[in-house]
Amino acid sequence: MKVVLSHLTKTFPGRGRGSKKKEDVVAVNDFTFEIPDGRLVGLLGPSGCGKSTTLNLICGLQKPTEGQIFFDGEDVTQLSPQKRGVGMVFQNYALYPHLNVEQNIRFPLENLKGPEKLTKEQMRTRVEEATNLVQLGDLLDRKPAELSGGQQQRVAIARALVKLPRVLLLDEPLSNLDARLRLQTREEIRRIQKKTGVTTIFVTHDQDEAMSISDLIVVMKDGVVQQIGKPQGVYDNPSNLFVAKFLGTPPINLFDGRVQDGALLIGGEKVLTLKNVPDQAVYAGVRPEGFTLSENGPFTCRLSRPEVMGRDVSIVSTHPASQNPVVRSIVDAESCEHLSGDTVRFSLNPRKVFLFTKDTEARIPFESV
Ligand code: ADP
Ligand code: MG
């Protein structure tokens, strides 16, 4: 099912009265987006940027201050959560502790009324399908306390799927799991989503998580959508400094720079030649993989140490114009066999270099020469 958000806005009034009244919080600010049918969309941003509020608006737990929500063309903005056909999974699995796995998953079906009411047999089939989907078949008798975090989250996902929702909403579903289980469960969610084809919105503050399983990502900041696109597309083409900094591990290296007479200057060195950029002070972002070791390279850093990370080597260095404490570049292991001395020189791959204005932090397009 296609989900359309049209100028969706949610304002929470500030608390207090008179001069002590706090400012209103615009948790979601004019969010317009069309979520294509059957896709998995990752909604990504730091804590407090409005991700949960967006999900609550879509599932109907909260009403927008302005704007509308459409499911396959039908305006559902005023519909109650029960009538929207949405499955929701939260960070804390919220299972019923006294019910076993099977009873937990069946629970939403037992409350269906009128034409939606199911027979015992239909319920049994639905529960079986949902448990098979999340591969919990042999744990049906267990109580939640007898399950690992990952298993509990799978029960929660099965419980959301058992009503055959039109949309599946997942709010930071992996946050309570340890690192290994997080990786495994995110693959699992992707598999289940592909198999059922249910339109899914997956909320996370973890860029790695969103990048790895989403068809599309939406990056939010302070209630405002910053950029929407395929994960690789957004990584390769961030529209502003915030997005460039938010995506990527290790993070982008940021320098104080200046464009002058067709060159990008960092710390007095001409590190790139450019076309069509007016002279100005800029932030220059360089992805870690954008550095190449080069004896006569134009960009000189002070070498701290190489760090071996299996196949690649991360060279840690410092630079007076760097906005981060260290500069991290990733190069292949062979190329740094001859690394010695206090300095290290690089050339830069222009496709991995992004320039941003100092005032609005918007991207400055350039052509390299
Ligand atoms: P996220 O899920 O991205 O961490 P939220 O959607 O929970 O962010 O919150 C977005 C903003 O709205 C935050 O500033 C938060 O404090 C505020 N907010 C959320 N819910 C309420 C509420 N019920 N009343 C007042 N402010 C709220
Ligand atoms: Mg949240």
Q: What is the pLDDT of residue 75?
A: 97
Find the domain containing 319 and state its range: 253-368
Range among 33-47, 110-124, 173-187, 309-323 rated most confident: 33-47
Q: Does the CB atom of residue 49 touch ligand 1 within 6 A?
A: yes
Of all protein residues, the one whose alpha carbon is nearest to atom 18 of ligand 1 is: 27
The percent of residues in the chain predicted with pLDDT above 90, rounded, is: 79
In this structure, the answer to whether residues 286 and 168 fall within a common structural domain is no
* The domain boundary residue, chosen from 246, 267, 282: 246
Task: Quote the number of domains for the chain.
Answer: 2
In this structure, the answer to whether residues 336 and 277 fall within a common structural domain is yes
* The domain boundary residue, chosen from 193, 226, 246: 246
Report the mean per-residue pLDDT for the chain: 93
Q: Specify the DSSP element, H or E, that contains 270.
A: strand 269-275
In this structure, the answer to whether residues 191 and 257 fall within a common structural domain is no
The length of the chain is 369
pLDDT band at 247 (very low <50, low <70, confident <90, very high): very high
Question: What's the average model confidence in pLDDT over 254-273?
Answer: 96
Instruction: Determine how many CB atoms are found less than 10 A away from the CB of residue 81.
Output: 15
Q: State the closest ligand 1 atom to the C-alpha of 53, by its place in the atom list counted from 1.
A: 6
DSSP states of 209-265: HHHHH-SEEEEEETTEEEEEE-HHHHHHS-SBHHHHHHS-SSPPEEEEEEEETTEEE
Token readout for 258 is: 């200046």
Which of 14-23, 112-121, 271-280 comes out lowest in average pLDDT?
14-23
* Closest by Cα among 245, 256, 261 to 283: 256
Question: What's the average model confidence in pLDDT over 98-111?
Answer: 94
In this structure, the answer to whether residues 263 and 362 fall within a common structural domain is yes
Expressed in angstroms and rounded, the spacing between residue 10 Cα and the centre of ligand 1 is: 10
| Substitution candidate for ligand 1 out of 22, 43, 53 with most atoms within 8 A of CB | 53
In this structure, the answer to whether residues 280 and 198 fall within a common structural domain is no
Q: Does the CB atom of residue 58 touch ligand 1 within 6 A?
A: no
Q: Does the CB atom of residue 27 touch ligand 1 within 6 A?
A: yes
Cα–Cα distance for residue pair 239/230, rounded to 1 Å: 13
* Closest by Cα among 229, 344, 352, 248 to 290: 352
In this structure, the answer to whether residues 68 and 217 fall within a common structural domain is yes
Of all protein residues, the one whose alpha carbon is nearest to atom 20 of ligand 1 is: 53
pLDDT beyond 90 at 90 = no
Helix, strand, or coil here: 12?
strand
Question: What's the average model confidence in pLDDT over 21-29?
Answer: 92
Expressed in angstroms and rounded, the spacing between residue 50 Cα and the centre of ligand 1 is: 6
In this structure, the answer to whether residues 89 and 188 fall within a common structural domain is yes
pTM of the model: 0.93
Q: What is the pLDDT of residue 111?
A: 83
In this structure, the answer to whether residues 286 and 170 fall within a common structural domain is no
Of all protein residues, the one whose alpha carbon is nearest to atom 2 of ligand 1 is: 52
Sorted by sequence, the CB contacts under 8 Å of residue 147 that are 6+ apart come out as: 101, 139, 155
Expressed in angstroms and rounded, the spacing between residue 58 Cα and the centre of ligand 1 is: 15
In this structure, the answer to whether residues 235 and 269 fall within a common structural domain is no
CA distances from 244 to 106, 235, 284, 363 (A): 44, 7, 11, 9
CATH number at residue 64: 3.40.50.300
* Residues, beta carbon < 5 Å, ion ligand 2: 52
In this structure, the answer to whether residues 118 and 92 fall within a common structural domain is yes
Phi, psi of 242 (to 5 degrees): -60, -50
Q: Between 139 and 91, whose confidence is greater?
A: 139
Ligand nearest to the CA of 65: 1
Which of 145-154, 173-182, 249-258, 331-340 comes out lowest in average pLDDT?
331-340
pLDDT band at 233 (very low <50, low <70, confident <90, very high): very high
Cis peptide leading into residue 288 (ω within 30°): no
Q: State the closest ligand 1 atom to the C-alpha of 220, by its place in the atom list counted from 1.
A: 3
* The domain boundary residue, chosen from 202, 228, 246: 246
Which of 75-79, 256-260, 293-297, 345-349 comes out lowest in average pLDDT?
293-297
In this structure, the answer to whether residues 135 and 216 fall within a common structural domain is yes
Q: What is the pLDDT of residue 338?
A: 74
Which of 162-166, 235-239, 260-264 comes out lowest in average pLDDT?
162-166
Q: Does the CB atom of residue 53 touch ligand 1 within 6 A?
A: yes
Token readout for 188 is: 């699992």
